[in-house]
A = this chain, B = another copy of it.
Amino acid sequence: MNTRSLSLGIDIGGTNTAYGLVNRRGEIITKGSLPTTGHATVEAYISTLQTELVPVIKKAGLENIAGTGIGAPNGNYYTGEIIFAPNLPWKGIIPLANLISEALGLKAILTNDANAAAIGEMTYGAAKGMKDFIMVTLGTGLGSGFVANGQVIYGHDGLAGELGHVIAVRNGRLCNCGRKGCLERYASATGLVITAELWLAERNDATSLRAHKGNLTARMIQEAARKGDAFAQELYEFTAGILGQTLADMVAVTSPEAIIFFGGLANAGDMLLVPAKKHLEDNLLNIYKNKVTLLQSALPDADAAILGASALAW
Contact of A286 among B84, B146, B155, B252 (CB under 8 A): B84
A60 to chain B, nearest CB (A): 34
Given contacts A177-B285, A285-B165, A287-B84, whether A160 and B74 have CB atoms under 8 Å apart is no
Is there a chain B Cβ closer than 8 Å to A250's Cβ? yes
Name the residue on B nearest A291 (C-beta): B157
With the chains together, A162 CA to B256 CA distance in Å? 13
> Do A255 and B179 have beta carbons less than 8 Å apart?
no
Contacts of A159 in B (CB 8 A): 255, 287-288
Interface secondary structure of A, over-half rule: loop
Interface residues in A, total, Cβ within 8 A:
46
A298, CB-defined interface residue at 8 Å: no
- Contact (A166, B253) CB under 8 Å given A131-B156, A177-B286, A179-B285: yes
Name 15 interchain pairs, CB-CB below 8 A, sorted by A: A84-B286, A131-B156, A133-B156, A146-B254, A148-B153, A149-B151, A153-B255, A155-B254, A156-B255, A156-B291, A158-B255, A166-B253, A167-B248, A177-B286, A250-B253
